[in-house]
Amino acid sequence: MEKVVISTSNAPAAIGPYSQAVKAANLLFISGQIPIDPATGNVVEGGVQAQTKQSLKNLQAICEGAGAGLKDVVKTTVFVRDMAQFAEVNEIYGEFFREDAPARACVEVSCLPKNVLVEIEAVVLIK
């Protein structure tokens, strides 16, 4: 099985020793995406909903860079700083995954990179 590193300029560059995504066989493993605007390199402002939206846009851009789409996502893990904001996160998440939503876990954590409010990683089926 060949391992292929996936990278796109339409999502933020990795800020450490990791890849945006790695393709192995017919699966794509996308690293946790935080709400950085790839055009500016800055964390988006506007609270947890704006940050969730940007994180999902980044995830979508990486899917597309690998020849897939959000419809091909089979599993996500959502990390939130405050589970009390879950409903707000879920509202935006539902806008991106309207039908046949992927399996998902959501975990509250004490801190995320750059002090963001949300981070989302995914496993994607490449057809």
Sequence-separated (6 or more) residues with CB below 8 Å from residue 77: 32, 104, 105, 106, 107, 120, 121, 122
> Using alpha carbons only, how large is the chain's radius of gyration in Å?
14
CB 52 within 8 A of CB 89: yes
Helices 47-65 and 86-96: angle between axes, nearest 10 degrees: 30
Q: Assign 3-state DSSP to the chain and report helix, strand, coil percentages, each to 5.
A: 30, 30, 40
Which residues are identified as catalytic?
A: 106
